[in-house]
A and B are shown apart, each in its own frame.
Chain A
Amino acid sequence: MASTDWQQIEIVFQAALDVHESERAEWLTQHYGHDGELVREVESLLAAESKSSDFLSKSDLPKAVSFLLNESEASRTGQRLGPYKILKEIGRGGMGTVYLAERADEQFEKLVAIKLLRRGMDTEDIVRRFRTERQILASLEHPHIARLIDGGMTADGLPYFVLEYIEGKPLDQYCDEHKLPTAERLRLFRQVCAAVQYAHQNLIVHRDLKPSNILVTATGEPKLLDFGIAKLLNTDAPYTVAPTETQSRLMTPDYASPEQVRGRNITTASDVYSLGVVLYRLLSGHAPYRFAQLSALEIERLVCDTDPDRPSAAIHRVEEITTKEGATDITPESVSKSHNEQPDTLRRLLQGDLDNIVLMAMRKEPERRYQSAAQLADDILRYLEGRPINARANTFSYRAEKFLKRNRLGVAAALLVLLTLVGGMVATTWQARVAARQRDQARLEKARAEQLNTFLQTILSAAAPVERGHDAKVVDVIDDAALRIDTDFAAQPELRAQALLSIGNTYRTLGLPDKAEKMLREALKLNLELYGEENAATALSMIYLSDPLMTKRKESEAEPFLTKGVEIERRLLPSRNKDLAFGLRNLGELYTRKGAYEQAKAVLQESLSMYDEMLGANNPDSLTVLLFMARTKDLSGDAAGAEAMYREVIAAFRPMPKRYENRVALTLYNLGRLLTKERRYDEALSAIHEAENIYQKSGDASIYTFYGKCHLTKAYLESGNFAQAIVEAQASLDIGRKIRVDDSSDYAVQLQLLGLAFTRSNRAREGEGYLRQAVELAKTHLASGDINTPAIESALGECLMAQNKLGEAEPILIQSFERLKAIQGGKGLSLGFAAKRLVTLYEKFKKPELAAKYQPFLPENQK
């Protein structure tokens, strides 16, 4: 030990662990053969390592704890509590332990359950409350409610409740184990509702309804446990917890209503909500919300502000749950199997009425739920008997009403018009169907509907805050509209196609490429079926569809749609065509990205002249084309020309109305990226910051604020300000998660930059995880020939090298270098970086001959 440096031993030891066991000896000799003592030391540690897997594997903590107890105490079993003798423990929960007991005086040979509270609760208070309420609780006599018999205090001061002993299974478990079909579940659930209704009539609110409090006996009778106990234990806000504390919550919030989660007034309506959640679970197999790992604040937000999936949609989830037996997956198959159904049949069964019934019980506002448990039961009965139910879907107009309350007047007014319009359209459609026999009449209606639909499209686009940045609330409204398409236009495929196109386009302008893609693909499919290829609607669907694909960097998928769409448009309407101009503009960008700069210039020029001719020079659309032209210059290496053009576009947009601010910002981003490349970091940062400020004015995190952070990360990283690069990268990842682009190649690149920033600020160990994540993401999202994947892998190599995990770094660095070489040919920036890393590595290994091999590939200024 004395002569060898412990730190060096550690470095070599860790590096050797990364090498395959069979090759370690050779690896050690090869790299460290000159230092015999070091090699011996590492070898003996490695030998110990291979034998020590069981060593110290089990913590000694239990033993230490048992020493802490210098006196042992008798357990409760066999003890007497009042007239009851404890037989065994039967359960344990947040509140305490439940025992099976019998009356010891043998007067009544009756088994009871005794719930013994945990120490630490405010016992005096509980017992006092218990005394005042026990009369009422004991008066609850209902075949489906377990009676509260008695209560008291143990000799050592713990309060307990004596309850009717019920032998049964929790409701959800019972249903699944017996593979009860949906109708059976509903009948059972109605009995539960009746019991709750009875208690409500006696002015007792349960407050903690959940399947584990609803047992079903062997004879199939449901029995509700713990009525009123939640209230006894917690006078105020049983579910509120300190925002920082997620572990010690006494009760599960899974079934808690928004008012409970918020610590507001709890009423019978709260029980109706919990019943709704229970029914949700019984029908769909899933909980409406997933709370694992969430803070109290996040849970509150979820319960109070977010609508759950419809049960019929929830059955399609695949969710891992952890039970006592271990982790299992809930899948559509497993859920339907326990209903004795096929997934599709089950979905159809739930869709519509049952969805509506569940969601009505679970409305956020107590006054909009069923007025009582009995009404809920009645509606279920109506469903079972095939009569029309009372529950209505949480209607579009209702959602929009809420939306109107929250939003500024302008959008509100636009949406109001939209609502009337949708209403009108539905009526029209329905009338059209009635009159369907009259062909010309139907045609007339169709023409009218189409006209209206065009109007709808305008309004949706106006409401879409393209020019204001991303607004999640508007998205909600559009989501609703999207959901309505299928049902509202089921019998009118033409209208459906148009609505799909319109909403898809709205998603596109909202910066939601996934949703846009889905809608537009459907629109395209439908338009092809209806009209074939030679059609403007088909062509437009193709052009629009290519846009989200390009946003998602799927250029190869976008290209055929875009070229085809442009080709059709060109044939149908060769000039003065906005859709064609738009298509050409995107085609120009596509060519730019592919590196086909000449082709890009040609189509962009064509697009520009078209816009100029239609709209006059310097109109916003033309200016946007100029921005794309500047990008072509930029990427083709004409930095000076590009910079001048970016600045021209910015200057032209600046005096325009405020809604064009975003175009200024977008151009500033491009300028910032160019300046970073030019190593003019101060100018770059100020451009990006200005753009970011513009986007941030619209408040919410959006794809644009995300890109802002991306550009900033890059500028700071390359200017050597690693600390700030870390801050910006982390901010970008936060936004990325929020707007759900955390499963994309852009996100991978950001992870990489964060990892690199850590690595270069001597925190390589922290960086490694991010880089590994980046590699995985890049592999899933990038084409095999994409330069980013090996570039990210090479960055991982740098990080490993910084941690002296040289053995692991070496193959990664070599492989990524070779791949980059294959993609970039003999030169390129990423290739240069990769070469630099290998040179450094072999210098560390003291292998100059290997380092020399990579010298020729170094960036020009580093040779």
Chain B
Amino acid sequence: MDDKPKDVTRMLLAWSAGKTGAEESLFQLVYDELKRIARQYLRKESEGHTLQPTALVHEAYMRMVDQTRVNWQNRAQFYGVAATMMRRILVNHARGLAAEKRGGATKRLSLEEASFSQADNASDLLALDEALTNLAKFDERKSRVVELLYFGGLENKEAAEVLGVSEKTVQRDWQMARSWLYRELSSDTSDPTALAGA
């Protein structure tokens, strides 16, 4: 294979060392690789067999990262990157869809897009994204927990590893963050404080 694994390793190491700019290049690389592997997967899959998305992320990791040089922390970080990326992919699609609607474009949607084309869904996702960004402002970790579990498809245990906290903490963060997000998203139109004042 080419020297890609070495690149990822280097970038992960740079990233964990806090080098600026490492994150963006890492994202691009991981994105390209995931896309490539997904295509290969599909090529091998027979009909009626759904792609296992977490398996895809795992495989991407296996293939990209030169394991001898990367410790578990980097592995955890990799999943962290992947989760953030999945969020971006979804948000970008939702934005694109919203823009399309506004522009009245009649471009034919692909099958996947069709399933997502209920505009509600797209706007829900954008609202969630925004709320999550707000949450991060005063509780970064809870926002990350949601990103890892919801967008990254990680198990509590894996998320705990990524964040370096206990599984119990992840579970509690998730419970609280979800409650908060639920309240935020359901109060979009009716501000509870306004109601309380009335």
Contact = CB atoms under 8 A, between A and B. Distances in A.
Interface string B72-96: 0000000000000011011001000
A132 interface: no
A568 to B, nearest CB: 55
B45 to A, nearest CB: 6
Given A61-B151, A768-B168, A68 B181 contact: no
Interface in A95-126: 97, 99, 116, 118-120
B176 A45 contact: yes
A398 interface: no
Which of A45, A69, A247 has most chain B Cβ within 10 Å? A69
A248 B62 contact: yes
Interface stretch (B10-18, B20-28, B47-55, B99-107): B47-55
A659 interface: no
Contacts of B40: 119
Given A64-B151, A119-B40, A45 B180 contact: yes
Given A6-B138, A76-B45, 4 more contacts: A55-B181, A73-B39, A75-B47, A765-B165
B49 A89 contact: yes
A418 to B, nearest CB: 48
Contact of A63 (B116, B139, B179): B116
Contacts of A17: 175
Given A65-B51, A242-B67, A44 B183 contact: yes
B179 A48 contact: yes
Nearest to A86: B46
Interface residues of A, number: 54
B198 interface: no
A59 interface: yes
Interface residues of B, number: 58
A51 B51 contact: no
B153 A55 contact: no
Interface in B130-178: 138-139, 146, 149-153, 165-166, 168-169, 172, 175-176, 178
A40 B196 contact: yes
- Chain B contact residues, majority secondary structure: helix
A310 B111 CA distance: 57
Nearest to A55: B182
Nearest to B153: A61
From A1, A67, A75, residue with most partner B Cβ within 10 Å: A67
Contact of B67 (A88, A97, A119, A245): A245
Contact of A72 (B42, B50, B90, B186): B42
Among A13, A52, A77, the most chain B Cβ lie within 10 Å of the Cβ of: A52
B151 A99 contact: no
B6 interface: no
Nearest to B182: A52
Interface in B21-41: 34-35, 38-40
B107 to A, nearest CB: 14
A397 to B, nearest CB: 46
A71 interface: yes
Interface in A1-39: 1, 6, 10, 13-14, 17
A69 B111 CA distance: 11
A69 B149 contact: no
A56 interface: yes
A61 B86 contact: yes
B179 A65 contact: no
B108 interface: no
Given A17-B175, A119-B40, A48 B183 contact: yes
Contacts of B149: 56, 59
A768 B57 CA distance: 32
B46 A76 contact: yes
Contacts of B69: none
A244 to B, nearest CB: 8
B186 A766 contact: no
Contact of A65 (B56, B63, B186): B56
A309 interface: no
A97 B44 contact: yes
A46 B179 contact: yes
18 contacts: A6-B138, A46-B179, A47-B183, A48-B179, A48-B180, A49-B178, A56-B128, A56-B146, A56-B181, A59-B152, A63-B90, A65-B51, A70-B110, A72-B42, A77-B46, A99-B46, A158-B44, A765-B165
A54 to B, nearest CB: 10
B46 A97 contact: yes
A244 B128 CA distance: 38
B151 A60 contact: yes
Contact of A73 (B43, B67, B175): B43
A769 interface: yes
Contacts of A52: 178-179, 181-182
B45 A65 contact: no
A13 B43 CA distance: 49
Q: Max chain B CB contacts within 10 Å: which of A48, A68, A70, A72?
A: A68
